[in-house]
Structure 1
């Protein structure tokens, strides 16, 4: 059996939750990172050289290839990895699974807002810290005194939620000063023994591509 491959740009973007999850689970895989050439000439992008030669049904990145599947779409890849390699990280029942899906969608909206803010050519008049304050208040209240996003047990959702919050903190190191619950959540995740060193090793990995207005 050949080693599984996770393919994505050489950035955090939509792939880092998968990398964190795989590291935590101790999965031996190839972390294939493609160079992003950027404007004005995208011909140097490594990904474009192989995009249509990997047998993917919907050629895109991130992708995951193992001996059973060839998958694209970030959420599909993430959930497949959780179910296949970390079944103990899945929510224990349907109500919790529904809550997990809800929070995952909420976090996805937050990340989309950060992406839009970072890539728009003209800086919005309202700082993103102000624009999203009500949503972060809601998230802080939702987690409350929980150990993890859904309660006392870590689930695959935490790997996605952590990365979204991390990207906001990387944009602004003081972003979570008004939200001590979320700051505590980040610190708790970063103290996981299987992840502490890996998180430090990947601190220099940019969140978004060189085409962003703000690169961090």
Structure 2
């Protein structure tokens, strides 16, 4: 039995949930709604080397950290090309490109989530777009070019990029070009992901914790 544990929001776990759906993995989504259940119980009792969420329990394997869980899942299910590796798992220069793009998109995420948690969200939103977000998006669109996916073929970088675009299309709809609209549609129609989205419409509206984040999802 496979279990993914995280708060009952999209947050850091959503790209992993999409990956699980794409890989066709049956799993239990452990969504913590009571902080005490995590901090007062499971954090100390699950036997995790580095107790944190999201976590993945897969038989005897226990993995934490949002950057490590996808590597484990992709390697286990022999979809090495999602990491940029060759199909047999051997090194390919694409691995560096995938890691580079993921790092860049995570920098964009820091800006977006910092804004979402800021009490002055409404007043700061436009300035952040002009100062930083617009350039982030333009560079990623230029990198995408006329390719179907960021590196050419689907990789985990696309799972991260799609999640960033999910924030952007609500907060900065003016940034979503025709190229990005087509890209979003391609990702949303991938096998497994299409079905996941259709089955989790309400859950997908909760991006960040209500009551803590100023912007936590489309209302």
Q: Same fold (TM over 0.5)?
A: yes
Distance 1:15 1:175, change over 3 A: farther
**Alpha-carbon distance in structure 1 between the residues aligned to 2:112 and 2:17:** 20
Across the aligned residues of Structure 1 and Structure 2, the Cα RMSD in angstroms comes to 1.8
**2:53 equivalent to 1:61:** yes
Corresponding position of 1:8: 6
Does residue 168 of the first structure (1) align with residue 159 of the second (2)? Answer: no
Aligned match of 2:142? 141
Residue equivalent to 2:112: 114
Deviations 1:11-63 (A, max 9, x none): 00000111111111111111111105xxxxxxx54322321110011111000
The farther-off stretch of 68-77 and 199-208 is 199-208
Equivalent-residue separation in structure 2 for 1:125 and 1:11 (angstroms): 24
Task: Please list every run of 5 or more consecutive structure 2 residues that lacks an aligned counterpart in the other structure.
Answer: none
- 1:41 counterpart residue number: none
Q: 1:126: Cα distance to partner?
A: 5.1
* Of 163-172 and 109-118, the range deviating more from structure 2: 163-172
Equivalent residues of 2:115, 2:125 under 8 A apart: no
Deviation at 1:175, TM superposition (A): 4.2
In the alignment, is the contact (CA less than 8 A) between 2:5 and 2:55 conserved in 1?
yes
Residue 82 of structure 2, aligned match among 86, 89, 92: 89
> Quick check: 1:190–1:196 contact (8 Å CA) kept in 2?
yes
Normalising by the residue count of structure 2, what TM-score does the alignment of the two structures yield?
0.85
Does the CA contact (< 8 Å) of 1:18 and 1:81 recur in 2? no
Q: Which structure 1 segments of 5+ residues have no match?
A: 37-43
Contact residue 134 and residue 175 of structure 2 kept, 8 A: no
Cα deviation, residue 75, structure 1: 0.5
Shift of 1:67: 2.3
Q: C-alpha distance in 2, partners of 1:46/1:94?
A: 42
Task: Judge conservation of contact 1:35–1:47 (CA < 8 Å) in 2.
Answer: no
Map 1:42-53 to 2 at 5 A: 45-48=36-39, 49-53=41-45
Higher percent of residues as helix: 2
Alignment CA distance shift 1:187-1:100 (3 Å)? same
Q: Which residue of 2 aligns with 1:70?
A: 62
| Paired position in structure 2 for 1:39 | none
Query: In 2, are the aligned partners of 1:20 and 1:195 still within 8 Å (CA)?
Result: yes
CA–CA distance in structure 2, aligned partners of residues 22 and 175 of structure 1: 31
- Tell me how many residue pairs correspond in the alignment: 204
* Corresponding position: 1:19 with 2:12: no
Match of residue 216 from structure 2: 215
